[in-house]
Structure 1
């Protein structure tokens, strides 16, 4: 389908359900997509951080994009991560996901290699030149160790290189600068600025952001759709109450024992446990080498769901 400009609304980063043997569970993935679509989301983002794309083989990535793009069938825009270390490898990912039907690609700065801002800019220009669909920059310095400044992103947008920004940096000042630039510069029409933060969506939309890419949206898509609608309608008291309910629910990401697992294991394990408890996916397994939640930790996830009215 034609990508709307700007892309707006709730675009959850879709989790990747796995079997106990750690293969992609396509039946659960289809149920998850149906759960999100019925929740009223505006698009889907596969093969990002919440999708565990860093842990998936190229073959598993192909199964994910083939399954989702094939099932959605043009109902909603499907963005796909084309996330890899360097430009040639990213271009391989771009070719793979666009051949499967992705409507846009989401790309980080190069990583592992040491890069200069000029090389980061060249990376995005080369990817855009080789992509048949719009390219969205993914600002994720905690993982790629390179910060995308608002100035760089907006300059690339003015060149026609970037269609949007998915900001997961936690740098609210830079995010606001990107929002203000997207609204104030005549040379970046239709540029989308999306927040990846689950807990400050009302603030981001109040700044003028176009939408949200919330990992927790897998668990409660209806909540984020309500929150987005309240903000767009100027119902700020309702928006604040909904955001605070979602902040409480987001506490599930900390159920894991930090002495035996990392934050990613805890958060992604919690999202998958919640989807399992809600009957959306068949197995809450996360990809190796992440550490699985204990039965007690899964029970705590259930308490968060109950507290938010989801069980």
Structure 2
């Protein structure tokens, strides 16, 4: 089974001004990330605008990242959907496009209790031979994948290999770590502010959106945490926190894409219908991005 560890950025999906997938930019972004030391690419997550893209765009995105990766790192494809049938259709497309694993969320839109969340995930995992990563993101799904749900799903679906936790809840994350140790699955921290602390506590890795901008800092932070180098962790966590200032002037995703555009890797455009930055916010993001890039050069 796939062994997930290190930094696996939830990659942005570069788009052209006409709202089409920018394949050339995907190749530039992939090389930028792989050269910095990431150990995988998670496409079509929140940072990748998966829910905002058409099915054809999602398929094209997976294929483009798989081709750009050239086998250097695995490509994980998000298949977050509100129903089992839609999720299974999405995972079949992702598998055909070459994804090494799929990433499944709790169902969303309709309200679900713990039993239904577990059933949803078990059915999805049972529909594929690919490794499956669970993705706990309560702000988006309005359902929580608890340690108890994780245990239920893993015992019924042995191809579940990891969970990404983006709840930002430290106490819940500690419970997830304990459950995962007993189950033999990896836990990946998705909340940037908790990466250093999580690595020192035994997390396998991190899935930070800001790694699109400063991947070398994120990779160094994860390595320092694995090594138990607490002082280095503190310094690198502070650098990563400063880079996250690009999220603050406006809509966070527009800020992230505009910041990555400062590196010449893509356009700043989110998918059509998502908020964009006004000129004042764009100027603030540009300033924060330039500072973050300089900070990365100092620390790594």
Q: TM-score range by the shorter chain?
A: over 0.9
| 3-state SS of paired residue (2:86) | helix
Q: CA deviation at 1:309?
A: 4.2
Preserved CA contact (<8 Å) 1:98 1:132? no
Does 1:277 find its partner at 2:275? no
Distance (Å, rounded) in 2 between the aligned partners of 1:200 and 1:114 = 28
| Distance in 2 of aligned mates of 1:302 and 1:141 | 30
Given the alignment of the two structures, is residue 152 of structure 1 paired with residue 149 of structure 2, yes or no?
Answer: yes
What residue is the counterpart of 2:80 in the other structure?
83
More helix by share: 2
> For residues 288 and 309 of structure 1, what CA distance do their matches in structure 2 show?
28
Deviations 1:239-297 (A, max 9, x none): 101110111110111111xxxxxxxxx1111111111111111x211112122112322
1:114 Cα deviation after fit: 2.6
Q: What are the ranges of 5 or more consecutive residues in structure 2 without an aligned counterpart?
A: 296-300
Q: Any conservation in 1 of the 2:214–2:293 contact (CA below 8 Å)? A: no
Structure 1's unaligned 5+ residue stretches are 257-265
Residue 92 of structure 1, aligned match among 89, 94, 98: 89
TM-score (norm 1): 0.91
Any idea what the Cα deviations from partners look like across 1:126-180, whole Å, max 9, x if unmatched? 1111112011111111111111111110232233252111111122211101111
Question: Secondary structure at 1:106's aligned position in 2?
Answer: strand
In the other structure, the counterpart of 2:235 is 241
CA distance in 2, matches of 1:23, 1:93: 19
**Alpha-carbon separation, structure 2, partners of 1:284 and 1:217:** 16
CA RMSD across the alignment: 1.4
Q: What is the CA–CA distance in structure 1 between the aligned matches of 2:196 and 2:202, rounded to whole Å? A: 10
**Among residues 11, 14, 21, which one is paired with 1:24 in the alignment?**
21
Determine the C-alpha separation between the residues in 2 that align with 1:309 and 1:117: 42
Is 1:290–2:274 an aligned residue pair?
A: yes
Whether the 8 Å CA contact 2:104–2:134 is kept in 1: the answer is yes
Q: 2:289 and 2:107 mapped to 1: Cα distance?
A: 37
Tell me, in whole angstroms, the C-alpha distance in 1 between the residues paired with 2:159 and 2:100: 16
- In the TM superposition, 1:180-259 aligns within 5 A as 180-183=178-181, 185=182, 188-189=183-184, 191-256=185-250
For residue 17 of structure 2, give the secondary structure of its aligned residue in structure 1. Answer: coil
Distance 1:300 1:193, change over 3 A: same
Q: 2:167 aligns with which of 169, 184, 189?
A: 169
Counterpart mapping for 1:30-109 below 5 A: 30-109=27-106
